[in-house]
Amino acid sequence: MPDLTIPPTPPTPPVPLAALLAREDLGLRQIAGPADPDIVIHWAHTSEMPDPYPYLLGGELLLTAGVHIPEAAGSGTYFADYVSRIVAAGGVALGFGVAPVHDTVPRALVAACDHYDLPLVEVPPRTTFSAVARAVWQLMAQARLAELRRVTEAQQSLAAAASRPDPVPSVLRQLARRVGGRAVLYGPDGTEIAAAGRGAPGADALAALARVVRPAGTPAAAGAPTSATDTVPGARLAAYALGTGQGFVLGVAAPDHAPGDHTIASVAAVLLSLLTGEHQSRTGANRSSALVRLLLGTAPQDVAALLGGERWTVVHAAPEPGTAPSPDPVAASALGTALGSALIDLAPDVVRVLVPADREPEPQPGWTLGVSASVAPRDWPAADTQAARALARARATRAPLVRQGADGRPGLAGLVPHGEAEAHARALLAPLAGSPALTETLRTWLSLHGSWDRTAVALAVHRNTVRQRIARCAALLDADLDDPDVRMELWFGLRHL
């Protein structure tokens, strides 16, 4: 007795029956059964057995020339029994070859296929069964190639999204677009942190599925599955526990389950794991210990060993104009990952990253960076000042990254305490406080040595606009901007503003 459980179909993309019927070289014609565009076949099989049930795996287009049909078959239940067994075995369509055994398709067979909703396809005499089987495999190969191309393009777009200044929302948007549904990132407590894509049915069911793979309040629940799937009316749901050990979960809801969706979602889950997890091999406990010791008065050089480096650079980063107005925690974390450090300080308008000197900071898409010279831990405060100056220079010149000189020599500005310098700068530049455009124009113009043309290019405005703004600055400040001493003092103030 054969096993009544139909084995799973192979992992190759199925072929729509309509696509096979559309092949003009085959000349196939459907003459019975439902004309459903969703009917797909997984392979073609030829059999002349009167009971094909034991020889079918499910998903077949069964091809026969009717050799097995007895002469009196039309007057009994032969065709009904034959078709019902094909349907019971999971066959999805029947192809009947006309000639050399039968000149036409038996009418009783047509009636039986209509009764059991089994598509019946007439195969003309000039078309061999081998040609039909070959066409099925060709269509499968084309579908497989299209699936691989789709997955590859999705992987590339997801990787590009992960490098943007807002990596997590970008990855979710790209994932939702690729699967045609909705992508959601859930936090350790089960709340929705970020989401993208059009609304799909089953929002509550998706949240429940996320709790299955990482129950709320238990970031690393023992024995919890790493992924789970479910189906609700109108949507297929999937949840993936991110490999961060922190309880983040990716949820995906799509109206259909297209080939490759699981692979695409898995790639997104890996990227999100990197973006939300620990970014260094050193443990969080070591960082916490270093912080506590610093708060209790330990010198920086005495806790540097816990952080894993003897010399360091400080990086100040600001979002490029036109991107997010202020960095968010996830974007700052992704920036730290790209720079090779998890030591990140997020301020309203700048991100500061403490980077081991053996990791050379490089320009990052969407960010403007100022990098200090390499220093020992005792000189971290000085390096912080250097990075701030480098960032100011980078922003003024529209450069993606500016490094402090390798010698790290302090300038005259270092002789003035920061608090006093900032107070002086605010007083000096108070007349411009209400006009950010004037302040930025003055900063850029001074950094470019008073060049009208270069300033216009840097600010993407007309050179006459630059002249008008600088003239306005001179009037408000009541200063001669041709005087090098005045320019020096203004530049000093702008760097500390």
Contact in structure between 95 and 132 (CB atoms under 8 Å): yes
Q: Which CATH superfamily, name and number, covers 414-496?
A: PucR C-terminal helix-turn-helix domain (1.10.10.2840)
Cα 259 to Cα 264: distance, rounded to the nearest angstrom: 10
Mean pLDDT of the chain: 82
Residue with tokens 């066959």: 91
- Confidence (pLDDT) at 4: 36
Q: For domain 15-139, which CATH number applies: 3.30.565.10, 3.30.300.30, 3.40.190.80, 3.40.1390.20? A: 3.40.1390.20
163-276 and 284-410, same CATH topology:
no
Lowest-pLDDT range of 69-73, 295-299, 480-484: 295-299
CATH class of 163-276: alpha beta
- Confidence (pLDDT) at 79: 94
pLDDT tens column, 149-188: 888 888 888 888 887 777 888 899 999 888 888 898 887 7
pLDDT tens column, 239-281: 888 875 567 888 888 887 777 888 888 888 888 887 876 443 3
Domain residue extents for the chain = 15-139, 163-276, 284-410, 414-496
pLDDT tens column, 4-43: 333 344 456 788 999 999 999 999 999 999 998 889 999 8
Model confidence band, residue 66 (pLDDT cutoffs 50, 70, 90): very high
R_g of the chain, CA atoms, integer Å? 35
Residue 406: is its pLDDT beyond 50? Answer: no
The angle at the Cα of 357, spanning 351 to 362, to the nearest 5 degrees, equals 55
Cα 155 to Cα 15: distance, rounded to the nearest angstrom: 25
pLDDT tens column, 14-25: 889 999 999 999
The angle at the Cα of 117, spanning 116 to 122, to the nearest 5 degrees, equals 105
Torsion-angle region of 162 (φ positive above 0: left; ψ -120 to 50: alpha; else: beta): alpha
Lowest-pLDDT range of 202-206, 221-225, 286-290: 221-225
> What is the CATH architecture of 284-410?
2-Layer Sandwich (3.30)
Residue 333 has which token pair? Answer: 């974390």
Cα 368 to Cα 323: distance, rounded to the nearest angstrom: 11
Model confidence band, residue 3 (pLDDT cutoffs 50, 70, 90): very low
- Confidence (pLDDT) at 495: 76
Whole-angstrom CA distances from 131 to 101, 137, 436 are: 19, 10, 74
pLDDT tens column, 420-450: 777 888 888 898 888 888 988 998 888 888 8
Model confidence band, residue 90 (pLDDT cutoffs 50, 70, 90): very high
Residue 457 has phi, psi (to 5 degrees) of: -65, -45
- Confidence (pLDDT) at 118: 96
Model confidence band, residue 485 (pLDDT cutoffs 50, 70, 90): confident
pLDDT tens column, 459-479: 888 989 999 999 999 999 998
**What is the H or E stretch that residue 176 is in?**
helix 167-179
Average pLDDT estimate for 395-400: 81
Residue 293 has which token pair? Answer: 């010791």
